Amino acid sequence: MPRPGVPDPYRLKARQEGYASRAVYKLKEMDRKFHLLKPGLRVLDLGCSPGSWMQYSASKVGPSGLVLGIDRNPPEIELAPPLYFVPGEVESLDLETVKAVCPEFDVILSDLAPKTTGVKEVDRQRSLDLAFRAWEYARQLLKPGGHFLVKVFEGPDTPALVKELEAAFSACRIVKPPGSRAASREIYLLGLNKRAA
């Protein structure tokens, strides 16, 4: 974490490069390492606002692909194909609304984060609930062979989700990208190549 008064280099870089958020560098690094995004792919981005993951994903999937973002808040970026947005709470959004835009996805990303309370156990549980909700989307909307990347605040119950992903994907990785603040408890779980049901 940068010292008070010292600008965060990732934030400065994001501003200079026209990204909506410093979060983009976490996705960029994981994509560089695991080759998740390619031209023509259909991507679902859960917790997409302000929109830097959408900007980066769109640049990778190109005009023949699709990036659908979902968030309770609208993205702060210009929305034009291949970018689409559905507003809503991930807990209550009807999956049929998502399927009407795109029936299945090649990649599902979740950077969903709860509003933190400062109470570690509460924040961890809320983050885990969001990660399991994202997993429910991936269970239903991710095609076989697809990849699932989900943020979670690490805690004693994280292994329960890891176990589910290990069973559902041919490989599961636990990733802490360089753009993620060292002091933050966030990690990313990555399920690679979803097995056929």
Ligand X SMILES: C[S@@+](CC[C@H](N)C(=O)[O-])C[C@H]1O[C@@H](n2cnc3c(N)ncnc32)[C@H](O)[C@@H]1O
Give residues 68-87 in contact with ligand X (rule: CB under 6 A): 71-73
- Quick one: which of 44, 68, 83, 90 contacts ligand X (CB under 6 A)? 90
* Residue whose C-beta lies closest to ligand X: 47
Q: Does the annotation count 151 as an active-site position?
A: yes
Q: Does 111 bind ligand X (CB under 6 A)?
A: yes
Quick one: tokens of 116?
A: 């933190």
Interface with ligand X (CB under 6 A), residue from 52, 127, 158, 180: 52
What are the distances in angstroms from CA 170 to CA 122, 139, 146, 162? 32, 14, 10, 12
SS3 assignment, position 105: strand
> Residue 29: in which H helix or E strand, if any?
helix 24-34
Question: Given the rule CB under 6 A, which of 44-52, 58-66, 142-150, 176-184 is the region that contacts ligand X?
Answer: 44-52
Of the pair 41, 58, the CB lying nearest ligand X is at 58
Contacts of 63 (CB under 8 A, 6+ apart): 81, 82
Cβ–Cβ under 8 Å, residues 170 and 131: no
36 touches ligand X by CB under 6 A: no
The residue ranges that bind ligand X (CB under 6 A) are 20-21, 23-24, 47-53, 71-73, 89-91, 111-114, 130
Q: Which residues are catalytic?
A: 151
